[in-house]
Amino acid sequence: MGNDGTAAQIVAGDAQRRTDSPSSSTSSTWTIKKELLDVGLYLLCDADTKDSEYVFVERVAEGSTVDSTYANRISGCRSLSHQGLYCYHLRAWRRYYLTSGVCSSVPLRLYEDVTESGGQNSLWSAGLVMANYIDKGNGLALPGKRVLDMGAGAGLTSMVAAVGGAGAVVATEQPTCMAYLTNNLAMNKHVPVDARPLYWTTDEPAVPEQEQFDLVLACDVTYDPSLFDALLCTMKGYLKRAGGVALVCHDNDSCPLSPAAEKGLTSRCVGRGISFDPVDLTDKVDPPFYEKSVRMWRLAHDV
């Protein structure tokens, strides 16, 4: 109920006349898209203007009532077609990413704790860009492929790969960060992703061929050059020799990678028999996601 005791009735699939919205002087009819109900996400379409927006109403079941001030609460939300929908709630952000492109239209739910100082409980730009890159297809041909996400964090990239039809997706994190990953995956039971702890070390793991991966994702994990060796050794062990590709994404805004550090990354790859090629992201990610600061590299075993 709202502060004034009034409540707006939300009934999935029905047209609702929103007469109590503080932000609209005239009443307008909103249609609520039913498929999104299970994640508390609604596509509202204004019948007069044809504008639509995604709104988030927490803990609302079909036919229940919601606080009449919700229109105010969503005013700060950005469009889902851009960088996800944000709702400030109890000092934490809940973000929704709506897949499009090859991944059709599947809402993915993320929890982000902006009060956590290490930034380990949030989605990073490199991960968001990678999610869109996967979502747009980009020749990845996911169906049937085995995908490994290293340092998966919130798990968005893993989930988008799973929605895109990958045969198996394994999202990994260091043991201390597993809870954040598994909690986010648990909010998205409609997406099949397996979560496992994986701490990178400089001992290259001996992984049997059938357990290796066709595609390895590594987003915003190149912020610390002292981790390069462990990252690359572990990646090499898990990457399929024949045809395996690793995509590494880095955002210079979240952590500038000096030319010397980038050279160090390249030479470590070359020294290990791994090819290292930049991916030009122009036209490969949607404009709202495209940032000049974001870089991507394609790594593979030398043949």
Ligand X SMILES: C[S@@+](CC[C@H](N)C(=O)[O-])C[C@H]1O[C@@H](n2cnc3c(N)ncnc32)[C@H](O)[C@@H]1O
The binding site for ligand X (CB under 6 A) comprises 120, 123-124, 126-127, 151-154, 173-174, 177, 198-200, 219-221, 227, 230
Cβ nearer to ligand X, comparing 88 with 199: 199
Shortest spacing between CB 208 and ligand X, in angstroms: 21
Q: Are 159 and 96 in contact (CB under 8 A)?
A: no
Shortest spacing between CB 129 and ligand X, in angstroms: 9
Cβ nearer to ligand X, comparing 127 with 164: 127
Distance CA 157, CA 58 (A): 24
Q: Which helix (H) or strand (E) holds 23?
A: none
Cβ nearer to ligand X, comparing 50 with 292: 292
Shortest spacing between CB 289 and ligand X, in angstroms: 13
Residue 264 has phi, psi (to 5 degrees) of: -65, -40
Give the Å distances, CA to CA, from 92 to 80, 95, 113, 115, 182: 18, 10, 5, 7, 17
- If you search the block for the tokens 């739910």, which residue do you land on? 109
- Give the ranges where 20-102 is alpha helix by DSSP (H): 70-73
Cβ nearer to ligand X, comparing 7 with 261: 261
Shortest spacing between CB 134 and ligand X, in angstroms: 12
Shortest spacing between CB 1 and ligand X, in angstroms: 37
Amino acid identity for residue 59 in this structure? R
Q: Are 160 and 134 in contact (CB under 8 A)?
A: yes
Cβ nearer to ligand X, comparing 142 with 177: 177
Q: Is the dihedral of CA 212, 218, 222, 227 positive or negative?
A: negative
